[in-house]
Amino acid sequence: MEVNQAKQEHLLALKVMRLTKPTLFTNLPVTCEDRDLPGDLFGQLMREDPSTIKGAEALMLGEMLTLPQNFGNIFLGETFSSYISVHNDSIQVVKDVLVKADLQTSSQRLNLSASNSAVAELKPESCIDDVIHHEVKEIGTHILVCAVSYTTQYGEKLYFRKFFKFQVLKPLDVKTKFYNAEVRTDEVFLEAQIQNITTSPMFMEKVSLEPSMMYNVTELNTVASGDDGESTFGKMSYLQPMDTRQYLYCLKPKPEYAEKAGVIKGVTVIGKLDIVWKTNLGERGRLQTSQLQRMAPGYGDIRLSLEVIPDTVNLEEPFDIICRITNCSERTMDLVLEMCNTRSIHWCGVSGRQLGKLCPGAFLSLPLTLLSSVQGLQSLSGLRLTDTFLKRTYEYDDIAQVCVVCPYSSNER
């Protein structure tokens, strides 16, 4: 903290102190074996030391609390608290004392004073005390500006200011990734990586996702265990310095938006993360990200997805799938379906069949039958849709994958 002292001598003295919680006293224990030259001398000294824990003298943490010796670090999301005291050091009675505290950031100036009314009279050796609080929401340089104005007993109006400069640091590094579930649903998976970049451990009280109005969210950070789910991070939710945790969330469109392909297609705003943590002796911090945005999936004019597909099928045996064809454009289409065989995938049925007209935003479910002539993990490809109105063709490869197994052993075959 930097303080610019006023050059003029004033009747009043201004003192500002940051309010923080104390820390546990630490000492450096010195021990040796009984057969060494000092014998039990070190142990006796530690037992007589009032700062050590009785019965655990070799532990570095003691029973006493230590008041802060310096300004310390202020992190984004924490509450900045400061004690302001104006003391009358003179032998005069001063009048109309007004104390004002403003916090200047890179983007705004905030008034933190609890009261903007002046004190009518301040006698010698008396003081005016105030405690200010502010939840820090910006990183970078902050300047606490404390201004005092008063009137002497001779009617002279005086005024002085002091500036206290400090830096606000970032406590967490948050990275997000989005995964679109293309095969069966319009689900969106969010992976949030949260890293503690401070020098002390944190207790992660809450990490939640507040979805946008079009989505419902399900947290995937618990494991089913009995009646209540157990956190994947265990019972003690501590995040050590420079450690990283990954949180996973699943977002599903609300029923009223699920059938509107054009609406969901253009949605980029997903929601925002709400993170609450505690540090030494329960000091609380809270951080909310801005609205998280994803790249909208490019479905084109027609989206082809799968509603039903088996995980495993038998070699050279027909199996059924159900496709969903959605018109994502703003015009009506007249569609024709063509099925082209590949080296491993063979479609069953008539190719070139008419599917009929499909209005904007509408969809149709289409059951299809196919078989595979090659074992292993096979990719479903070879579907082609043609819009006869515009003579435009849409080809679909790598629609999904299916595992093909042989139901017979080599001897049986």
Reported as a pLDDT band with limits 50, 70 and 90, residue 109 is: very high
Task: Take residue 288 and report the two structure tokens written for it.
Answer: 């909310």
Nearest CA among 192, 196, 166 for reference residue 285? 196
Query: Where residue 2 falls among pLDDT bands split at 50, 70, 90?
Result: very low
pLDDT of residue 267: 62
pLDDT tens for each residue of 143-173: 999 999 999 888 889 999 999 998 999 999 9
CB distance 333 to 355 below 8 Å: no
What are the start-end ranges of the H helices in 311-388?
Answer: none
Lowest mean pLDDT among 31-45, 231-245, 267-281: 31-45
Identify residue 318 by its one-letter amino acid code. P
Cα angle: 328, vertex 333, 336; to 5 degrees: 110
Residue range 336-358: mean pLDDT, rounded: 91
Across 118-132, average pLDDT: 90
pLDDT: is 86 or 224 the higher one?
86
**pLDDT band for position 6 (50/70/90)?**
very low
Query: What is the structure's pLDDT at 413?
Result: 47
E strands present in 232-382: 238-239, 244-253, 269-278, 284-288, 292-293, 302-308, 312-314, 319-327, 333-339, 345-348, 353-358, 363-372, 376-380
Report the alpha-carbon angle 182-300-256, nearest 5. Answer: 60
Query: Which residue, 255, 338, 334, 249, is CA-closest to 294?
Result: 249
CA dist list (Å): 384 to 49, 152, 387: 84, 91, 10
99 confidence band (pLDDT: 50, 70, 90) = very high
Q: Cα separations (Å) of 294 from 41, 53, 178, 191? A: 66, 53, 7, 12
Q: Which residues pair with 99 in a beta bridge?
A: 148
Q: Which of the four pLDDT bands, split at 50, 70 and 90, describes residue 7?
A: low
Nearest to 336 by CA among 390, 397, 298: 390
As given in the structure block, the two tokens for residue 87 are 């003391």
Is the pLDDT confidence value at 225 over 70? no
Average pLDDT over the chain reads 84
pLDDT bin (cut points 50, 70, 90) of residue 409 is: low
Q: Write down the pLDDT at residue 248.
A: 94
Say whether pLDDT at 4 is over 60. no
pTM of the model as a whole: 0.65
| DSSP class of 262 | H
Q: Residue 268's pLDDT is what?
A: 74
Q: Cα Rg for the chain, rounded, in angstroms?
A: 35
Residue 194: the pLDDT is: 94
Confidence band for 299, pLDDT divided at 50, 70 and 90 = low
- pLDDT band for 64, please (50, 70, 90 cuts): confident
User: Mean pLDDT over residues 374-400, rounded?
Assistant: 89
Residue 183 has pLDDT above 80, yes or no: no
Question: How far apart, in whole angstroms, are the C-alpha atoms of residue 113 and residue 99?
Answer: 8
* Higher pLDDT pick, 34 / 205: 205
Q: Can you give the pLDDT at residue 282? A: 81
Tokens representing residue 346 in the block: 């063979």
pLDDT tens-digit map of 25-63: 777 777 777 777 777 777 777 777 777 777 766 666 667
Check pLDDT > 80 for residue 66: no
72 to each of 16, 132, 169, 240, how far by Cα in Å? 15, 18, 11, 19
Lowest mean pLDDT among 35-39, 79-83, 171-175, 352-356: 35-39
Q: Is the pLDDT of residue 229 over 90?
A: no
Q: What percent of the chain clears pLDDT 70, i.e. is strictly above it?
A: 88
Residue 358, classed as helix, strand or coil, is: strand
